[in-house]
Structure 1
Amino acid sequence: MPLLGLLALALHHALADTCSSVEETTTIEVSRPLQLSYIAEQQEYWSTSCAALTPTCIIFPKSAAEVAVVVRILNENSENFAVKSGGHNPNNYFASVEGGPLISTQKLDQAMLNQETGIVRVGPGNRLDGLAAKLQGTGWTFVGGRIGNTGVGGLVLGGGLSYMSAQYGWSASSVVEYELVLPNATVISVTATDHPDLFKALKGGGNNFGIVTTYVVQAYRQGKVWGGNLFFARTPKTDAKLLKAVRDFTEYNTDDKAAVIVTAERTNVNLVDSWILFLFYDGATPPPGTFDNFTSVGPLLNDCRTRTYADLMAFSNWVIVPLSVVTIGTETIPLPSANHQDVMTAIHAHWRNVSSTVLAVPGVVASIAFQPFPKRIAEAAREKSPDLIDCDADAHRMILEINYSFVLPSDYERMANTMQATYGGIREKVLAWQRDGTLPDVYLPLFMNYGFFREDYFARLRPESRALARQVAASVDPDGLFRSRTGGWKP
């Protein structure tokens, strides 16, 4: 080919967008707007605000090699992009993109179990309910999250809180190997001995280091489980009893197989004002008394029963609020002592006060979930593997998950400010309580999987953890492909 022809071809590839280049030079599946697979994938988001962003195309690689081809093409242009597992993260641009390629891991849905060792090779395209169904009947379980619709990819990269975390730590704690496509399009294996700093950074470091195409995880033996929900009408007496019960459970529970989530929820003009509890026991029946402090409060409905873990994961999807914009934020607090139950009361009252200001917003659902973070979770995580979260067992803690969902995109800025006022006000109270000795002055990392985009996840890690993440990101991504061209928190 003449020199001018070669130059023209090179210029074409340099200027061509990723979608066109993948279509013209590979056999990787690419879907464009108005095609059914594009429309279907765009509907698979927790929040309609993410679904409203329109990628130029959606790319569906089926292997690490195909992901590497896409990453190599991305390096030849300057387009923004996003990588999507389950689409559970509601922050715009974290797993969604406007006017660039969306890389869907939907086809990377392998789940290959070694029945003897319990080692599972899991693709990021799996959702927790689907993965539980694939493992059903094998006697093994994966340490996943609590909502079945959640994608494996984002869950594990953010750490992953599980009903089984007191036994086994974070979801990420059980990852023994990552198959990773680096920003330079090289495919590598990352383990505790091969690339140990990168191995640690991937556990709680988000999407800053490349695209994970396989998680090799240690599964654990499991038979039938027990779990479900309790529903309560909200009254001041119920508030006091349930807030005390979840505080006491966090401190006094000694059975690592037991877990709870205690959620207050309200909707438009208080049409619904309730408490919803999620109870779990990793066994067919909890020992007598395990959850008495909750069941004795008098639920209107109790659907807890013995079932398979796959059934529990599938059942959990009732919590999804369809056709809504969703925002999620978080705070971590030290567990107050039994003498300072007023801390729990004040946090709940703050949430009620702030959420009261938006109860006229169309379709609003506001909730705050009190999630125990006992010392045992930190101990179990450290026993398994180092991670960026690096939480100590110096104190019991509690993770708060704050949700606001609503219908109209035009309400987004107002609701984002409401979210910030909610978690920001809690943070101010906690700092004041720490200054006056009401609460202990302990390390309080944010939980990435619940983080709102305005929160600074990496600033709340230990300085050495943030420094490690920054150093690893600079090493594997010197040109800033993931730092500057895709969303998410950056170290």
Structure 2
Amino acid sequence: MLALRAASLFSLFWAFAPVYADTCSEVRDNTDIEVSSPLQLAYTAEQTEYWSASCSALKPSCIIFPRSAAEVAAVMRVLNTNNEKFAIKSGGHSPNNYYASVDGGPLISTQNLDHVLLDPTTGVVDVGPGNRLDGVAAKLQGTGWTFVGGRIGNTGVGGLILGGGLSYMSAQYGWSASSAISYEVVLANGTIVTASATSHADLFTALKGGGNNFGVVTNYKLQAHPQGAVYGGNLVFVRTPALDAALLRAVRDFTEHNTDDKAAVIVTAERTNVDLIDSWILFLFYDGPTPPPGTFSNFTSLGPLTNDLRTRTYADLMALSNWVVLRGFQVQIGTETIPLPSAARAEEVLLGAGGIHAHWRNVSGTALAVPGIVASIAYQPFPKRIAQAARARGRDLIDVEADADRVIIEMNYAFLLPTDYDKMDGKMRETYGGIRERVVRWQAEGKLPNVYLPVFMNYAFYRQDYWGRLKAESRALAREVAQRVDPGGLFRGRTGGWKP
């Protein structure tokens, strides 16, 4: 009797238990959407397309390749019938595990959403999230128009714009997201909406710096800008202590004193344990065929080992930049934003024994025995003009005022062995944490301006408090929009990334 009663209760439980659909099987069996399983060629190829090998090591249950917003919507409706973790992938450039990668759940690749449709009269261009920046530049080559993209061609459009996007052209046009006219968005329930300044305006704002919390963007309508030939390339220097001081002072002075919005620089120090390489690599850009005399002389006059600056196409420059992507390496990236020190404080803040660059050298020096280590720090000017240009083009969540010049610092550690991931996790936290501690102390002492210093999403380490470093009103807007467009928390609860 007890056995029969137990059997009846068991049957009753399963009669009323929720039925969870397996996304891969449901999409494969009931739609025409392409689904690739492990060991299939498309699956294997897509898994290699990550910047960090740690992301490639995560194995999705399948990879889904939608070709339209309607197909993305169909996948969203299936995901609403289960509780599987999933990820959306544009270019896979974020090295943070689970942000554009997933282990054991479906991966939705936007690879086939790779359209670039330009109106040659207005310069309005529709761009799909399956594009990488070098691909967009190549497709626009010869049209006389350009997009406000990032600096590494391998970067995907989706992650760049949803994080804000810092560009060589930001002093002219603001963030990459500042050029967005509208977004086509598939919401969590499968509804397709257009977000713009006049339709779903709060969602439009939230998508500019809000990451992957609100839906899947299947089209970016962007305002392109006129462009012909550009000037740019790399300078490479062999590091010396004297050169450290000269380059850091040069980038400080460029941030404050450069008045030509067409000019941009990135000043990067790099060291490895391979043949004791210790160098500086500079990225210089001018939005025109020839910069005015003296524009970059503080850098070019310092005696670079190599100099490949020349007039070229923007597409060529984007393709050239991909040498920085190290295939097969584990990659970690972190960031800090600092106020630009005055000329009188530059020595203490940037150059001195207790300064930011010495701190980076001290921490990175303790990691040089890690196999394959490549440690780098990049100083990227963020002058007032970038904030002015962004604000002139509408609100975004980053919401930086033009009250001070700033520098965005990017830190990278690349290494060979997955077993070193946790150790290097600690090194990354020590690196950006030490910079932050110094800046807060200098601000309290009146040595640096006490200004708003957000964390730049595109460079942030997964442990950094992205939302906590934004303004309260930006956080509140993001939470309200996320709850309204995704009340069930599909994106906030089942994907990686920073959650408002």
What TM bracket, shorter-length normalisation?
over 0.9
Q: Give the one of 400, 405, 410 matched to 1:396.
A: 405
Deviations 1:453-480 (A, max 9, x none): 0001010000110111011111111100
Amino acid at match of 1:409: P
Matched position secondary structure for 2:181: strand
Cα gap change, 1:371/1:11 in structure 2, threshold over 3 Å: closer, same or farther?
A: farther
- Residue of structure 2 in register with 1:189 after alignment: 194
1:455 equivalent among 461, 464, 472: 464
Instruction: Map Cα deviations across residues 390-413 of structure 1 (whole Å, 9 max, x no partner).
Output: 000000000000000000000000
* Deviation digits for residues 6-53 of structure 1 (CA, Å, limit 9, x no counterpart): xxxx99993331000000110000000000000000000000000000
- Contact between 1:111 and 1:123, CA under 8 Å: does it hold in 2? yes
1:45 partnered with 2:54: no
Indicate whether 1:441 and 2:446 are aligned.
no
Q: For residue 149 of structure 1, what is the aligned residue in structure 2?
A: 154
Report the 3-state secondary structure (helix = DSSP H, G, I; strand = E; otherwise coil) of the residue aligned with 1:256: coil
Kindly report which structure 2 residues correspond to 1:33-432, keeping only aligned pairs within 5 A, or say none. 33-268=38-273, 271-342=276-347, 343-345=349-351, 346-432=355-441
**What is the rounded CA distance, in whole Å, between the counterparts of 2:221 and 2:391 in structure 1?**
18
Give the aligned partner of residue 4 of structure 1.
none
Where 1:367 maps in the other structure, the secondary structure is strand
SS at match of 1:338: coil
Q: 1:387 and 1:239 mapped to 2: Cα distance? A: 35
One-letter amino acid matched to 1:428: E
Preserved CA contact (<8 Å) 1:30 1:60: yes
Letter aligned with residue 101 of structure 1? P
TM-score between both structures, scaled by the size of structure 1: 0.97
The reply to whether residue 31 of structure 1 matches residue 36 of structure 2 is: yes
Q: Secondary structure at the match of 1:278?
A: strand
CA contact (8 A) 1:230 1:278 kept: yes
Q: For the residues of structure 2 that align with 1:53 and 1:112, how far apart are their CA atoms?
A: 34
Identity of aligned residues (%): 72
State the secondary structure of the residue aligned to 2:280: strand
- Tell which deviates more after alignment, 10-19 or 242-251: 10-19
Preserved contact between residue 21 and residue 78 of structure 2 (Cα < 8 Å): no
Query: Structure 2-normalised TM-score?
Result: 0.96
CA distance, structure 2, for counterparts of residue 202 and residue 239 of structure 1: 38
- Superposed CA offset, 1:251-292 (max 9, x none): 000000000000000001671000000000000000000000
Alignment correspondent of 1:7: none
The answer to whether the aligner puts 1:475 opposite 2:484 as a matched pair is yes
Q: Does 1:489 align with 2:495?
A: no
SS at match of 2:368: coil
Q: Which amino acid aligns with 1:170?
A: W
Residues 78-102 of structure 1 deviation map (CA, whole Å, 9 limit, x = unaligned) = 0000000000000000000000000
Q: Is the 8 A contact 2:33 2:66 kept in 1?
A: yes
Separation in 2, partners of 1:255, 1:89: 31
Quick one: which amino acid aligns to residue 259 of structure 2?
T
Contact 1:269–1:360 at 8 Å: present in 2 too?
Answer: no
Letter in 2 for 1:251: E
Q: What stretches of structure 1 of length at least 5 have no aligned partner?
A: 1-9
Q: Deviations over 1:401-444 (max 9, x none)?
A: 00000000000000000000000000000000000010000000
Deviations 1:357-411 (A, max 9, x none): 1100000000000000000000000001210000000000000000000000000
Task: Measure the CA separation in 2 of the matches of 1:172 and 1:394.
Answer: 21
Shift of 1:230: 0.2
| Structure 2 Cα separation of the partners of residues 481 and 188 of structure 1 | 17
For 1:68 and 1:167, the matched residues in 2 are separated by 36
* Corresponding residue of 1:3: none
Q: Secondary structure at the match of 1:418?
A: helix
Amino acid at match of 1:30: V
Amino acid at match of 1:232: F
C-alpha contact 2:20 2:83 (8 A) present in aligned 1:
no
Aligned residue pair count: 484
Give the SS at the match of 1:188.
strand
Letter in 2 for 1:372: P
Conserved in 2, the CA contact under 8 Å of 1:13 and 1:21? no
- Per-residue CA deviation, residues 209-232 of structure 1 (Å, 9 max, x unaligned), is 000000000000000000000000
Aligned-pair CA distance for 1:344? 1.1
User: For residues 140 and 12 of structure 1, do their structure 2 counterparts lie closer, same or farther at Cα, with a shift above 3 Å needed?
Assistant: farther
Structure 2 residue identity aligned to 1:344: L
Change in CA separation of 1:64 and 1:298 when aligned onto 2, cut-off 3 Å: same
Please report how far the alpha carbon of residue 321 of structure 1 lies from its aligned counterpart in structure 2 after TM superposition. 1.2
Query: Is there any run of 5+ residues in structure 2 with no aligned partner, and where?
Result: 1-14
